[in-house]
Amino acid sequence: MDIQFKVEKGRVLVPVGIPCPFGCKYCYTRNGEVGPARVKPIEILSHLQEFATNHAFNTIQFGYDSDPFAFPERGIVMLERLVELGKHINFSTKACIEGTALHALATVRSNLASHLTLSALISLSCWESAPAVEPHTPTPEERMRTVSNLKQIGIPAFIAVRPLLPHIADAEYEHLIDEALRAGCDGFILGPLYADEKERFVRFVPKEILRKVPGRKVIVPWSAHAPVWTRYEDGVRMQRMMMVVEAEGGKVFWSSADAVESVIASKVGEGM
């Protein structure tokens, strides 16, 4: 499979190009449907550069196929090169970013032109259930450390609560929201659970619970590789979670593109 890019909502998703070691149960990157499993950074970056010469977009979202900071040196080198493209950059991660990686990230940020933004999405899909659902992933507490560390070096950090898992109780999400607000996050993005034809990414969800969640087949809009998956999404529950966030003074965005837009808008506001 070739590496491909697509502009959607003014952004382009850029892969990391190496299998992710974190092993979340709902991970949809393992079967290669969203992109090739292994690609050298130089190959990704040169294809992207070529794509950028004949496509208009404002933002790069880095890390949909793996975690850019599972191998921090690789993530940093790629970010250093992405900065040269002169776009807003957002990356998503579940890593614990501290020490050398944090320091290097601060340098990446300082190399970005002053009108551009660098922001982060820190993903969590549960709290107490993380050892079962995300067994090889940095703990939720470590991810909260990432949030506060990023904030300290001036990088806005959003919490991607995705997928919102049907068999995890609301109380667990309330705890997650509480902790994330305490860590200083800039807002939340609530997201669906995807399943392929063989239901490989949802096997860990009890069938009788999954059957009750509204699901519809979609062509995944953000992927250049356009897989057709079932999108499980309980709109009523999402609204309820939004109310919990707002009651605690937080903000909810319905897509990461909207969250990134809010960072860009506040940057523009600063310059006025």
- What's the closest the beta carbon of residue 237 comes to ligand SF4, in angstroms? 21
- What's the closest the beta carbon of residue 6 comes to ligand SF4, in angstroms? 19
Count of residues touching ligand SF4 (by CB under 6 A):
10
Nearest to 121 by CA among 222, 30, 48: 222
Of 105 and 121, CB closest to ligand SF4: 121
Q: How far apart are CA 116 and CA 263, in angstroms?
A: 10
> How long is the chain?
272
Site membership for ligand SF4, residue 143 (CB under 6 A) = no
Nearest to 209 by CA among 148, 166, 238: 166
- What's the closest the beta carbon of residue 20 comes to ligand SF4, in angstroms? 3
Residue 198, judged by CB atoms within 10 A of its CB (0-12, 13-18, 19+), counts as: exposed
Task: Tell the residue number behind the tokens 């800039």, with chain if given.
Answer: 186
Of 9 and 30, CB closest to ligand SF4: 30
Q: How far apart are CA 138 and CA 245, in angstroms?
A: 24
Residues 82-141 that bind ligand SF4 (CB under 6 A): 94, 137
Of 101 and 112, CB closest to ligand SF4: 101
Q: How far apart are CA 71 and CA 240, in angstroms?
A: 36
Site membership for ligand SF4, residue 186 (CB under 6 A) = no
- What's the closest the beta carbon of residue 137 comes to ligand SF4, in angstroms? 6
Q: Which stretch binds ligand SF4 (CB under 6 A): 19-27, 109-117, 145-153, 171-179?
A: 19-27
- What's the closest the beta carbon of residue 125 comes to ligand SF4, in angstroms? 8
Site membership for ligand SF4, residue 27 (CB under 6 A) = yes
* Percent of residues in the chain assigned helix, strand, coil, to nearest 5: 40, 15, 45
- What's the closest the beta carbon of residue 17 comes to ligand SF4, in angstroms? 12
Strands 215-219 and 228-232, how do they pair?
antiparallel
Of 104 and 124, CB closest to ligand SF4: 124
Of 7 and 27, CB closest to ligand SF4: 27
Q: How far apart are CA 53 and CA 103, in angstroms?
A: 31
Token couple for 190: 């609530």
Site membership for ligand SF4, residue 66 (CB under 6 A) = yes
CA dihedral 120, 121, 127, 131 (to 10 degrees): -90
Q: How far apart are CA 187 and CA 171, in angstroms?
A: 19
Site membership for ligand SF4, residue 22 (CB under 6 A) = yes
Kindly tell me which residue out of 12, 13, 20, 104 binds ligand SF4, with binding defined by CB under 6 A: 20
Site membership for ligand SF4, residue 37 (CB under 6 A) = no
Q: Which stretch binds ligand SF4 (CB under 6 A): 18-26, 41-49, 177-185, 252-260?
A: 18-26
Binding positions for ligand SF4, rule: CB under 6 A: 20, 22-24, 27, 29, 66-67, 94, 137
